[in-house]
Amino acid sequence: MRRELFRIPGLDWPIYGYGTMVLVGFLLGYLLVIRGARREGIPPEKIQDLPIWMVLSGLLGARLFYFIQFYSEEFSGGRWTRLFRIWEGGLVFYGGLILGASAFLLYCRRHRLPVLPMLDVMAPATALGLGFGRIGCFLNGCCWGKVCDAAHPLAVRFPEGSPPALASPPSPEGLSSWLHPTQLYSSANAFLLALLLWVIWRRRPAPGTVAGLLFLLYGLSRYSLERLRGDHAVGEGLSTVSQLISSGGILLGVGLIVLARWGRGANQSLQSSENGPL
């Protein structure tokens, strides 16, 4: 954990690890989208503002979702002004995905962009950005995991005064308990997903397939990883909000893949009938 990476000499302005990782993820994702658009024959200048609108909308949605989900723990009692302290962390991916997707659809409609091919272009970039964002979560000390055995090869302890240390049973040193580094699990999952989606996209599957795989595979992995999260308590037999949304994402992913395969099959049948004997 390292919330503050360094301070700008002479100005004494802090540079936070969380914000830095989010920025790195955005820049690399942006470059990936521009490259993908060129391959799809879409002029880069036509979509150069799309990632910016999506990120701004996504940050707003992610922060509002976090505000709603954790209001009683962090914002009640007149502390609602903390909503604007985004540099301290506190974003929920699904909130960003919902509002970012809305901005995406409006942008595509306004600029007459093909929705399914553009969704496929955005999918690997989204997973890549999420991978860096989760590293930011680790540096920030949020989204921590449940208590695990100290002998676990990936077990971590967070420093005194950090959110995990304050939430877990106190230790003589003031450190947190030994915890699962769910932030790094999530980051590794996102990077692997980005690589897989990029490889599949380069093989030119039916439009909508890559985006469908993003919703399907991320939904499955996020549902599983939520079982290791320790930053929010869930009653026995109940699901977290993210698990419920993951279930919807899985269904959406399956629907997109089926739609993509059906659309390609219908187009091939139409071409065959047009080229066949009269």
The C-alpha atoms of residue 258 and residue 261 are separated, in whole angstroms, by 5
DSSP class of 12: T
Looking at the predicted structure, is the pLDDT value of residue 3 above 80? Answer: no
Minimum mean pLDDT among 22-36, 120-134, 227-241, 258-272: which range?
258-272
Tens of pLDDT, residue by residue over 33-52, are 888 888 888 887 888 788 78
Give the confidence band of 274 by pLDDT, cuts at 50, 70, 90. very low
Length of the chain counted residue by residue: 278
DSSP class of 226: G
| C-alpha distances out from residue 11 to 239, 253, 275, Å | 46, 47, 70
Strand partners for 229: 145
The C-alpha atoms of residue 61 and residue 126 are separated, in whole angstroms, by 15
pTM (global) more than 0.85: no
92 φ, ψ (degrees, to nearest 5): -110, 120
What number of other Cβ atoms are within 10 A of residue 202's Cβ? 12
Tens of pLDDT, residue by residue over 46-94, are 887 887 888 888 888 887 877 776 666 666 666 656 666 665 566 777 7
Residues 149/167, Cβ–Cβ less than 8 Å: no
DSSP class of 88: G
